[in-house]
Amino acid sequence: MVKLGKIEYKPVPVRDLLIEIKDLSELMIDLAYSAALFDSKALAEEVLELEERVDTLAYLLDMNVMIAVRDAEDAEHLVGVSAVASAADKISDAAADIAILVIKDIGIHPIVRQVFEKVAEHLIRVEINPESILAGHSLDELELAARIGVDIIAIRRNKEWIINPKEVEKLDRNDVLIARGAPHGIDELEGLARGTISELEE
Amino acid sequence: MVKKKEHFKAVVDKLVELKDTSELMIDLAYSSLLLNSHHLAEEVEGLEERVDELHTEFEQLVLSSGFKPEEAKDFLGLIRLGVATEQIADAGAEIAEVVLRGLEPHPILKAAIEEAEETVVRVQVSLNSPLVGKTIRQAQIHEETGMWVLAIRRGNVWIRPRSSTSIQQDDILIASGYAEGEEDLENLASPKELENG
């Protein structure tokens, strides 16, 4: 069970909150489905991590509204933002429901999984081991898309999420990568991150 | 057995479409809010109806899989996946509703909207467009016009553009970006025929 704590107010602009919630929500849906269809508990756990983050951001959005409202007119203008915070919460709950199917082993027929593996690109979660050659390099140095056909769609660094990381982003040891690609490239990325493969072909 | 495989292929295709459509809805719903675009919000409402249809079709497919009682557990997960997806779509529609009701520019939202001097455009790809047959990666639309393609509508199917998605004649591209790029995108999607040509 996730331990819930008090959420402290931070002055974050509404626009920044909305953009982060948008990116995280899309990622959550993507990850939740992949967790279910590739039967990956590791991905499901990431979805639950993301849920916590989205919930925190939705609270912050609501707090922004509360602080800004001084009269009835303000309330009329800002009730929409509260509605968005509540919708964001619903989306993350629904994605978490999908993740929980995986964690609780509520079945998805094996044939469905087999078929899905053929039609969809794979998505994985992999952590960078200290001995991995990926650590300390930026994405444009690594050129993973060109070399092994894998796109890094998100990086989690402790509690911080970097969605659609920029080319200059440097990978660190212990970073958790969420990546998409063909099965062969995904296997290679796994080896590189674990440190069992120590060379990137040109 | 072959028939069964085909049936499952249909189930998975439907599921993938459900997932992509709901993900797209969330993308467009938040974009409609950030860009204060009624147009996009209306697209989201349309997509919600599409998700409802897809969900019903998906449930019918799953329930007609001809499973034995002891296999029921293997199908429960699928049914629940469908339910969760519909909840996501509903929440997306709620966000779009906020836009459709009309957001008054209160200071804290005004800041959110004004920073976005971006617009949303829809263009249709004509036969003579250089985009026809190219993938999103090859088409270099962002490099050429500064606009980002948010969604592709092909008939009544909505597609979330990935770099490997290819563009076809008659596709409707929904893109956002600075207003200056609008004309460039229109010219790219449907180049004007030469006078004597």
For the segment A165-180, what is each residue's pLDDT rounded down to a tens digit?
888 999 999 999 999 8
Per cent of chain B over pLDDT 90 is 28
What residue ranges do the domains of chain A occupy?
14-103, 121-194
How many Å lie between the alpha carbon of A102 and the closest alpha carbon of chain B? 9
d(CA B84, CA B63): 17
> Tell me, what's the pLDDT at B196?
46
What digits encode the pLDDT tens for the residues A13-54? 887 888 888 888 888 988 998 888 888 899 999 999 999 999
List, by residue range, all CATH 3.30.70.1450 domains of chain B.
Answer: 117-189
Supply the DSSP symbol for B69.
G
List, in sequence order, every residue forming a beta bridge with A177; answer none if it has no partner: A126, A155
- Looking at 3.30.70.20, 3.30.70.1450, 1.10.3720.10, 3.20.20.140, the CATH number of the domain A121-194 comes to 3.30.70.1450
> Nearest residue on chain B to A97, judged by CA atoms?
B84
Name the band, by pLDDT with cuts 50, 70 and 90, for residue A3. low
A164 at interface of B, judged by CB pairs closer than 8 A: no
Per cent of chain A over pLDDT 90 is 37
How many Å lie between the alpha carbon of A142 and the closest alpha carbon of chain B? 19
Chosen for mutation from B13, B108, B176 (greatest number of chain A CBs closer than 10 Å) is B108
Residues in B touching A26 (Cβ below 8 Å): 23, 26-27
User: Do the chains contact at A97 and B80, CB–CB below 8 Å?
Assistant: yes
Q: Which of A59-63, B51-55, B112-116 has the lowest mean pLDDT?
A: B112-116
Q: What is the average pLDDT value for chain A, to the nearest integer? A: 87
Name the band, by pLDDT with cuts 50, 70 and 90, for residue B111. low
Per cent of chain B over pLDDT 70 is 88
d(CA B180, CA B188): 14
d(CA B57, CA B55): 5
CA distances from B179 to A12, A123, B146 (A): 28, 35, 9
Residues in A touching B22 (Cβ below 8 Å): 29
A111 at interface of B, judged by CB pairs closer than 8 A: yes
| Of B82, B85, B142, B92, the residue nearest B118 (C-alpha) | B142
Q: Measured at the alpha carbon of residue B92, what is the angle toward residues A37 and B59, in degrees to the nearest 5?
A: 45
User: Do the chains contact at A94 and B87, CB–CB below 8 Å?
Assistant: yes
Supply the DSSP symbol for A130.
T
Q: Which comes out higher in pLDDT, residue B173 or A122?
A: B173
Chosen for mutation from A21, A29, A47, A102 (greatest number of chain B CBs closer than 10 Å) is A29
Please determine, for the modelled complex, whether the ipTM score is greater than 0.90: no
**What are phi and psi for residue B147, nearest 5 degrees?**
-100, 145
Residues in B touching A87 (Cβ below 8 Å): 29, 91-92, 94-95
A109 at interface of B, judged by CB pairs closer than 8 A: yes
> Tell me, what's the pLDDT at B161?
84
Q: Which comes out higher in pLDDT, residue A146 or A119?
A: A146
- Token pair for residue B157? 């199917």
List, by residue range, all CATH 1.20.58.220 domains of chain B.
Answer: 2-107
d(CA A190, CA A114): 21
> Tell me, what's the pLDDT at B104?
56
Residue B1 pLDDT > 60: no
How many Å lie between the alpha carbon of A130 and the closest alpha carbon of chain B? 32
> Tell me, what's the pLDDT at A139?
92
Residues in B touching A78 (Cβ below 8 Å): 106, 108-109
Q: Mean pLDDT, to the nearest integer, of B155-160? A: 80
> Tell me, what's the pLDDT at A170?
94
Q: For residue B113, what is the enclosing H or E element?
A: helix B107-114
Contact A156, A24 (CB under 8 A): no
User: Do the chains contact at A97 and B94, CB–CB below 8 Å?
Assistant: no
**What are phi and psi for residue A15, nearest 5 degrees?**
-60, -45
Fold exhibited by the domain B117-189: Alpha-Beta Plaits (3.30.70)
A77 at interface of B, judged by CB pairs closer than 8 A: yes
User: Do the chains contact at A68 and B78, CB–CB below 8 Å?
Assistant: no
State in Å, rounded, how far the first CA of chain B is from the last one. 56
> Tell me, what's the pLDDT at B107?
56
**What are phi and psi for residue A155, nearest 5 degrees?**
-130, 135
Chosen for mutation from B1, B30, B163, B165 (greatest number of chain A CBs closer than 10 Å) is B30
List, in sequence order, every residue forming a beta bridge with A181; answer none if it has no partner: A122, A150
> Nearest residue on chain A to B109, judged by CA atoms?
A14
How many Å lie between the alpha carbon of A76 and the closest alpha carbon of chain B? 9
A95 at interface of B, judged by CB pairs closer than 8 A: yes
User: Do the chains contact at A90 and B111, CB–CB below 8 Å?
Assistant: no
Class of the CATH-defined domain B2-107 = mainly alpha
d(CA A144, CA B40): 34
A106 at interface of B, judged by CB pairs closer than 8 A: yes
Q: Least CB-CB distance to B103: which of A64, A80, A88?
A: A80
A30 at interface of B, judged by CB pairs closer than 8 A: yes
CA distances from A89 to A51, A59, B109 (A): 8, 9, 20
> Tell me, what's the pLDDT at B36?
80
Per cent of chain A over pLDDT 70 is 96
Fold exhibited by the domain A14-103: Methane Monooxygenase Hydroxylase; Chain G, domain 1 (1.20.58)
Q: For B61-65, which contacts have Cβ atoms below 8 Å and span 24 or more sequence positions?
A: B61/B7, B61/B10, B61/B11, B61/B14, B62/B11, B64/B7, B65/A109, B65/B7, B65/B8, B65/B11
> Nearest residue on chain A to B5, judged by CA atoms?
A111
> Tell me, what's the pLDDT at B175?
87
